[in-house]
A and B are shown apart, each in its own frame.
Chain A
Amino acid sequence: MKPFLFTLRKEPDQRLDLSALTGDRLAGRALKDIEAIEIGTTKASVKVGDVFKLRAGEVTSVRYEGGSERFDGVGAKLLPGFDIHVDGDVGAQLGRLAKGGVITVNGDAGPYAASQNEGALIEIGGDCGDFLAGPLAGELTGMSGGRVIVRGAAGARAGDRLRRGVIVIEGDAGEDLGSRIIAGTVIALGAAAGRVGFLNKRGSIVLGQPCELGPTYVDCGAHELAYARLLARSLKDESRRAARLLSVKLRRFGGDTAVLGKGEILTPA
């Protein structure tokens, strides 16, 4: 199957809104129409054709050859059955509000990657910015489904207000990992810093390396958790290291008792 190809001509001179370039929105449109889609975010007009060389293909699979940290909104509202691959970096709000499908990025992602993701599998090969899977200002919940895998490091407040789904950060996590998490699971294999699980209601945060936790977390002892083993099996294709972490005996810290207190932080016992 030949993917629909967007080849970057040159680094764009302004931030681009690429949310219109998902398979379902490209379907049935002529190359000329697509080239005329406005993607600029300033007064100066920028059209798809100005930035990309296009090659028509199967719209269910969109591929960007060349990326930029100015590519905002890649894969926004993506639907199940579609996939997007970026050979390079992307900007803010990668896969925001995606309903399903698969998004893979070879390079780094900007802030708010997977923001309010509802069901997509999003994989970021490099690092990502702040508020991974989090809500935008004023929104009440973060990601509500799907899965996010970050091979590198994540910025501050990854998993903010997570509602459902699984986030795996294979590198280090920035400050305040899993802040205000409502439910769901965040796994960080590297170091975590700051107030981990700050105001955690019912979520699970799994840390590969022990770190100092706030006084509102209470040590509940080391346990073999059937749930962790189940998740380990489910994750083994996407992150073998995360699966390995979940297969060992885990020490459970209950909290955040400053709020509901039914969440947990798990670390290897």
Chain B
Amino acid sequence: MPPVVKKGVRIDDSFAEAFPMSGTGLVITAPTRKWALTAAQTMTGFATSVIGCGCEAGIDHEISPKDTPDGRPGVRILLFAMSSKDAEKQLVNRLGQCVLTCPGTAVFSTVAGEFEIKVGDAVRQFGDKWQMSKVIDGRRYWRVPVMDGEFLCEAKVGLTKKSVGGGNLLVMGADWESTMRATEAGVEAVKAVKDAIAPFPGGIVRSGSKVGSKYKGMGASTNDAYCPTLIGVAESALDPDIGCVLEIVIDGLTDAAVREAMRAALKAIVQLGPKTGAKRVGAGNYGGKLGPFHYHLKDLLP
């Protein structure tokens, strides 16, 4: 079937295949925006893929002081893992090493999930019995004395098992510059969608993988069908006018958030047009048998 063409950009008749994940998150506040962002960036560092990082995490959005619980600049981060146990372990570890340590920060729950995981209840022991608990409006907070004052941390944060990980778009263009332009536009659009993150560096992954490898014991290897340097040598999925492929991977707290983020990214990419941006957009899947969530590009067209 010929691809749909929108504003000169070819849209594959394909779909992104995504998986259920456990999602949680935090609001991190600090006296200044700089330090709230620093804590959030540190905490969500090395969290691109569950395969090697244990979780996928990123910054959802910044929050203005008037909307944060304590009236200071804030950042909302989201974290996704394959199980609630993994999510809890990763969240507590990252909180203890990256947020507790970061000057001025305080931490609040932000995800209304079916479950709650202990964070402050775990970190409080750092206070060596000098920590104080306060219950405000039915929520418990821990005040842990630290060298710049107090680390305020909500005792429990919400976790939902209804999250979705692995929404994606394959952005294909003539060269690195134009493909990057289109992909960056897509990532900016994802950033504007609440409850969704693009966990890879700058929201973009260039090493898309296929299942299996010629080497024993390797579960995944480079997606040779989409490597432009292998056009003609390997069995390629690329057209002759494609010289670069970049992928946006999207995780969201809900199915709707992932769908909305993919829709927004696709719109931004298409709007740029094939001359300055991408010539073709596809999506990655495993034949549709592994993941229960399918996002067909034709349903997401602007």
B134 and A226 contact, CB distance less than 8 A = no
A229 and B130 contact, CB distance less than 8 A = no
- A231 interface residue per 8 A CB criterion: yes
Q: How far is the CA of A185 from the CA of B31 in the complex (A)?
A: 24
| Sample (16) of A-B pairs whose CB atoms are under 8 Å apart | A145-B135, A166-B136, A185-B134, A223-B150, A225-B152, A226-B106, A226-B152, A227-B150, A227-B152, A229-B70, A230-B69, A230-B136, A231-B134, A233-B70, A262-B129, A262-B130
B interface residue count range (under 10 / 10 to 19 / 20 to 34 / 35 or more): 20 to 34
- A183 interface residue per 8 A CB criterion: yes
Say which residue of B129, B130, B133, B150 sits within 8 Å of A226 (CB atoms): B150
Q: How far is the CA of A164 from the CA of B141 in the complex (A)?
A: 13
Interface residues of A in 220-254 (CB under 8 A from B): 223-227, 229-234, 247
Residue on A nearest B133 in the bound complex, by CB: A183
Nearest 7 pairs of A and B residues by beta carbon: A226-B152, A226-B106, A229-B70, A230-B70, A226-B70, A234-B136, A223-B149
- B279 interface residue per 8 A CB criterion: no
Q: A145-B135, A262-B132 are in contact. Are A227 and B141 (CB under 8 A)?
A: yes
A225 and B132 contact, CB distance less than 8 A = no
Q: Give A contacts to B, CB under 8 Å.
A: 145, 164-166, 183, 185, 202, 204, 223-227, 229-234, 247, 262
Say which residue of A145, A165, A185, A233 sits within 8 Å of B71 (CB atoms): A233
CB distance from B207 to the nearest CB of A (A): 41
Residues of B within 8 A of A231 (CB): 134, 136
A230 and B141 contact, CB distance less than 8 A = yes
Residues of B within 8 A of A202 (CB): 132
Residues of B within 8 A of A165 (CB): 135
Residue on B nearest A263 in the bound complex, by CB: B132
CB distance from A177 to the nearest CB of B (A): 19
Q: Give B contacts to A, CB under 8 Å.
A: 29, 31, 69-72, 106, 129-130, 132-137, 141, 143, 149-150, 152
CB distance from A227 to the nearest CB of B (A): 5
Residues of B within 8 A of A185 (CB): 134
A229 and B72 contact, CB distance less than 8 A = yes
B31 and A164 contact, CB distance less than 8 A = no
B72 and A225 contact, CB distance less than 8 A = no
Residue on B nearest A145 in the bound complex, by CB: B135
Say which residue of B31, B130, B143 sits within 8 Å of A227 (CB atoms): B143
Q: How far is the CA of A224 from the CA of B70 in the complex (A)?
A: 11
Residues of A within 8 A of B143 (CB): 225, 227
Residues of A within 8 A of B137 (CB): 234
B152 and A230 contact, CB distance less than 8 A = yes
Q: A230-B141, A233-B70 are in contact. Are A225 and B149 (CB under 8 A)?
A: yes
CB distance from A159 to the nearest CB of B (A): 15
Residues of B within 8 A of A145 (CB): 135
Q: How far is the CA of A217 from the CA of B31 in the complex (A)?
A: 28
CB distance from A217 to the nearest CB of B (A): 16
Q: How far is the CA of A225 from the CA of B132 in the complex (A)?
A: 13
CB distance from A175 to the nearest CB of B (A): 26
Residues of A within 8 A of B71 (CB): 229, 232-233, 247
Q: How far is the CA of A233 from the CA of B69 in the complex (A)?
A: 7
Which of A166, A204, A225, A230 counts the most chain B CB atoms within 10 A?
A230
Residue on B nearest A260 in the bound complex, by CB: B129
CB distance from A254 to the nearest CB of B (A): 10
Residues of B within 8 A of A183 (CB): 132-133
Q: How far is the CA of A225 from the CA of B136 in the complex (A)?
A: 15
Q: How far is the CA of A116 from the CA of B31 in the complex (A)?
A: 37
Q: How far is the CA of A231 from the CA of B106 in the complex (A)?
A: 14
Q: How far is the CA of A224 from the CA of B106 in the complex (A)?
A: 12
